[in-house]
Amino acid sequence: MKTGFRLQRNPAKIIRESQIKSYNKDIKYIANPKIQFKYMNFYNHVIVWRGFIHTITFRRMMMRIQLVLLSLFLIIQIHANDLKAQRLTLNANQMSLENVLKEVTKQTAYDFLYNPDLLIKHAVPVTLSQINKPLEDVLEYIFKGQPRLTYTVDQKTVIIRPKKETATPISTTNTATLQAVIRGRVINEQGEPMSDVTVQFQGTTRGTKTNEQGLYDIEIIGNNTTLVFSYVGYTTEEVSIAGKQEINVVLKIQDANLDEVVVVGYGTQKRSDVTGAIVSIRPQELENMPYSNVVQSLQGKLPGVNITNTGTSAEGDTRLRVRAQNSINADAGPLIVLDGIQFEGFLSEISPNDIESIEVLKDASSAAIYGARGANGVMLITTKRGLAGKTRIALESMFSTSNIINRPDMMDATQFYNFKQQRMGFVSSFEEQQYQNGVNTDWLDYATQTGFKQDHNLSISGGAEKTKFFIAGNASRTDGVARNDVYNRYALRINMDTEITPWLTFGTASTIGYYDRPGEGANISNASRMNPLTAPYDEDGNLNFQPNPDDLNIVSPLEGLNIQKEDVARRILTNNYIQVDFPFVEGLSFKTLTGYNYRTRLIEQYSSASNTLRGSQVGGSATVNNQNREEWSIENILSYTRDFGPHNIFLTGVYTARAYETKFHDNSGVGFPGDHMSYYQFRLATTLTPSDQYTKESSLSQMFRANYSYDSRYLFTFTVRRDGFSAFGANNKYSVFPSAAVGWNMERESFMQSLTWLNRSKLRLSLGESGNQAISAYSSMPTMANQYYLDNAGDPLIGFYPNQLADPTLSWETTRQLNIGWDFALLKNRLSGTVDAYFSNTRSLLLNKQIPQINGVTTIRQNIGQTKSNGIEVALSSINVQSDNFSWQTNANFTYAKNEIVDVGLFDEAGNPLDNVASSWFIGKPIGVIYTYGFDGIWQETDDILNSHMPTARPGDVRVKDYNNDGAITVDDRHIIGQNFPKYTIGFTNTFAYRDLSLSFFIYASQGATRYTEHMNTYFNGSTTIRQREWWTPENKINTYPANRDDSNPYGLNYFGKTNDASFIRLSDISLAYKLPLSITNKIHVDRLELFNNVKNVLTLTRYIGMDPEYESDFGIPQIRTFLFGARIGF
């Protein structure tokens, strides 16, 4: 091929080789200055420096140098202004660099000078959208995406040259090991650069990640021959490096995550090879809707995973459930596995920024690998690891404010005064005096505040080829909406991996944390009941411990503000591994994973005799509680994977042991000589009460799993696990949990190839058993309790009596589950999703059985009872619009879950199961039902009350439903009016992106739950207030609430029909994010700068009239709305 330089002024005019004078293969100067350099009229001929100078006189040379320097100075000044003054609009989508240069030439007065071969060999297609931008910014953007090209500007000409590469020094001691560098760029199908793409050598952990421009470079060490490019949601590309110095890759959107690697427990699998019901999420999917509590961020995002905010504290307490609840009394929460080790702790203590992926194992086949801990599902959390290459620094800071938006409608002083007069016919003399003095206290105002939160995360990651690291620090402070409700979190994570030899690797994932809750928060629940005619402080500004002299049992909800309290927890968590990849057996590896989890919590509290009620009654009160939890575990994992033509096998064997120990030491004392030493003076206490508790439990397990696939078309999985647990009876320490699953990737069949609209279709079927061991450590053993008694002399002595009988047969709850699933992708992957249906049966429930008092106790824990459940889970993802500048994506999921009690260990003489009415356990009904009298409206003056089923009622009374139609209200008229848990949940996310701007909103809906609401409580004791509401009167004959009388609700109903329906639709999040363009980030020398805003709890539609339909209690922190602002910076 002929070589030469091209002047891009007239695209058709190419300078021929005969016009070029070459001095070497790298540097070529044009020999016809009239054509190429006519604008430089001082240039008479070309001087080339290559170790010699053409013969010219020294004087002429010096004169020309001075002239050139002066000209360059003038040119630079003119050029600097001209490049900024020249503006253009340019749009390109995978356009060749040469055509882009032509467009620039058409719109500006600038020409381009380059060697055509240079562009053919090194140029990368260009995608950009620049509107009325300075030429300087456009050029900078174009050539940031050209890893092998650079440019200089000489007056009105842009000269394009190859980038100079720094030679890698060769060791003088080992010249045989020559390191070369491969560079390149990764873009998507729209030509946009892709950041954070993993670039690794096949079969190794050596790798790096692309930067914000999609660029990467990686050293070749040893005999590595293939590079693997991978990114979540995109196809994985494998490229041979033979004879190449530059590799540019276009990643395509994956066939519904076909080749995405997911964690399955004790290993990983490609998504296409998974046979179980596993749902996963990556933190990138949650970035624009940030939470500092990782569980909160998952609500409504994962089908089959139900997350409820309980609204009880500043750090955001939640309840987590996977699929329908199977257990009645035992813990129903899923097992948490952090970096391969079972995690006993609070997920609120894990920074979401440290997490790489979250997988939830939902069906028995997937969860059976964890045997006795998997009946309620398994959540696998994997933290981030480092990759070799450039050291990357990432900083994220968030600030937010929160305010109560659904404030309880409390009575003011006048309303309370009139209400009590009407209800009781009088007010006390104290209340009369306070009313005359104008006392009107809004206790919620005193107990609440505007919440504020700040959360900062800093991470550094990178490493060399053999040692990689990820170090992250988190600092978070939350001031809740309750006064003095403060939560501080400080954590440091160090993850490191080191390759000692090609077959030996070890690493660690360790974190230390400090968690502090200083002080005692105001009691919002009590504040919402306080009499508005009472005052929080006396005339001297001192707190009124007992603000209502009419009822000294009522304590100020602000008393906690005067309590000296420190609640500090510290955690050390370290998971370490060593892995051997046996070089003499391909595919065989052995990994030992050890975990140590230590958490200590110290709660110190002192109630002063001078400013707290408790302290004033006993001369000062102190409590110190010290809690220590330690957990040790070891996992030995032997795995073997091998391809035999179209056959693939993946075998895993595990031997694991775990021990868990807790120690509680509590000291309480009263009667101190003074307050100055607070809780450091127990030796001076008049009365000292110590207490201690010690618990230890252990488990031992073995597991084997076999995966087989033929042509990635037919998939088979078999798993068996044997578990032993110390808490169970001597006769039942061990149990075995088997499972099996099959999968069929239908799209790989030849007869499916004609269905061009169907990109992927996989059927899954699984059946398996898993267990639940969530009982206390000594549930199967006989235990004693102590009690004081008086001897004959009247002196107190301590005696002991049995409080628990032994049951040597006590064992696991066992859940058998059948799962049917379909994974699909349609319309060129524009629509993808999964559908799962499951049917489960849980037997040998851990319940307390009633026994005769003659045994010394009235109950014994046994394996009795049975439940069953079923459900449907649907997840959909669609790409609605995808263009160069605009995209619109939708993610939605639907969950239906139902459980049912089969028996609770009670049977009639014929063997038919009976209800346990006292515990509200009913055969054929869900777990957690509400069993009470039914609301049937309000009796009106026109009703025939005397001939009704409530002949003594009066107009304005609550009308109770005669459920059995026997003409009277008896206990038999109680019936199930609802359930605590929703039947359906829906999550719906839409994300719109225009260039670097994105807008997201998330809608969450819950249907079918019934909640108690304090708003409907008719009880009034005269001392505390109740919610303001509309009452029945002869002039206001409503049918929703009774008259303002003590006897208007004789059966004490708290559920008044639709007002207790806790179904809701909530606009949970609206997020707006802007990623600054490269033209700005490059100038300030950062790889990434993103600003984001978020509003949480925007709007709720519900018939429920309590504080929040999601909360399981109508007391505690009311519904709040949060405004958040943050920034992410990457270097």
Residue that finishes a domain, picked among 162, 190, 225? 162
* pLDDT digits 0-9 by tens, 458-505: 999 998 888 999 999 999 999 999 999 999 999 999 999 999 998 999
Asked whether residue 64 carries a pLDDT value surpassing 70, the answer given is no
1060 CB-near residues (< 8 Å, 6+ apart): 978, 1010, 1011, 1012, 1013, 1016, 1054, 1104
Q: Whose structure tokens read 């700068």?
A: 1089
End-to-end CA distance of the chain: 42
Nearest CA among 818, 931, 806, 923 for reference residue 856 = 806
> Are 129 and 207 members of one domain?
no
1033: left (phi over 0), alpha (psi -120 to 50) or beta: beta
> Are 94 and 208 members of one domain?
no
Q: How far is CA 242 from CA 148, 228, 233, in A?
A: 18, 14, 28
DSSP E strands: which ranges in 608-646?
A: 621-644
> Are 11 and 71 members of one domain?
yes
> Are 153 and 195 members of one domain?
no
Residue 131 included in any domain: yes
Q: DSSP 3-state assignment of 515? A: strand
- Cβ-in-10-Å burial (0-12, 13-18, 19+) of 1021 comes to exposed
Residue 640 included in any domain: yes
Beta bridge partners of 157: 111, 154
- The whole-angstrom separation of Cα 822 and Cα 733 is 38
Residue that finishes a domain, picked among 251, 266, 287? 251
* pLDDT digits 0-9 by tens, 802-849: 888 888 888 888 999 999 999 999 988 889 999 999 999 999 998 888
pLDDT tier for residue 159 given thresholds of 50, 70 and 90: confident
Residue 836 included in any domain: no
Residue 222, pLDDT score:
67
- Our count of domains for the chain comes to 3
pLDDT tier for residue 579 given thresholds of 50, 70 and 90: very high
> Are 146 and 247 members of one domain?
no
Residue that finishes a domain, picked among 194, 219, 251? 251
Residue 224 is part of a domain; what is its CATH number? Answer: 2.60.40.1120
Residue 870 included in any domain: no
Q: DSSP 3-state assignment of 414? A: helix
Query: Token digits for 606?
Result: 């002192």
Residue 41, pLDDT score:
37
- Domain interval for residue 587: 452-522+551-810+881-892+928-1130
Percent of the chain with pLDDT over 90: 46
Asked whether residue 189 carries a pLDDT value surpassing 80, the answer given is no
Averaged over 569-583, what is the pLDDT?
A: 94
Q: How much is the pTM?
A: 0.76
* pLDDT digits 0-9 by tens, 259-276: 566 778 787 777 777 888
Positive or negative: CA dihedral 965, 970, 975, 977 = positive
Residue 732 included in any domain: yes
Averaged over 610-616, what is the pLDDT?
A: 85
Averaged over 855-870, what is the pLDDT?
A: 89
- The whole-angstrom separation of Cα 186 and Cα 163 is 19
Q: Report CA 422 to chain centroid distance, whole Å.
A: 52
> Are 476 and 597 members of one domain?
yes
Q: DSSP 3-state assignment of 816? A: strand
> Are 575 and 648 members of one domain?
yes
Residue 127 is part of a domain; what is its CATH number? Answer: 3.55.50.30
Averaged over 393-410, what is the pLDDT?
A: 91
Residue 113 included in any domain: yes
> Are 153 and 185 members of one domain?
no
> Are 197 and 132 members of one domain?
no
Asked whether residue 79 carries a pLDDT value surpassing 70, the answer given is no
Residue 187 included in any domain: yes
> Are 123 and 213 members of one domain?
no
Q: Whose structure tokens read 């008044």?
A: 1056
Q: Enumerate the H helices of 521-586 as residue ranges.
A: 524-527
- Between vectors from CA 408 to CA 402 and to CA 409, what angle results, nearest 5°? 130
> Are 112 and 217 members of one domain?
no
> Are 1061 and 956 members of one domain?
yes
- The whole-angstrom separation of Cα 911 and Cα 923 is 13
Residue 1062 is part of a domain; what is its CATH number? Answer: 2.40.170
pLDDT tier for residue 94 given thresholds of 50, 70 and 90: confident
- The whole-angstrom separation of Cα 557 and Cα 527 is 6
Residue 823 included in any domain: no
* DSSP string computed for 173-232: S-TT---EEEEEEEEETTS-B--S-EEEETTSS-EEE--TTSEEEEEE-TT--EEEEE-T
Query: Token digits for 413?
Result: 């002083």
Averaged over 899-921, what is the pLDDT?
A: 92
Averaged over 144-163, what is the pLDDT?
A: 81
DSSP E strands: which ranges in 73-165?
A: 87-95, 111-114, 126-134, 149-154, 157-162
Query: Token digits for 232?
Result: 């979540």
Q: Are 728 and 780 in contact (CB under 8 A)?
A: yes
837 or 134: which leads in pLDDT: 837
Beta bridge partners of 591: 579, 637
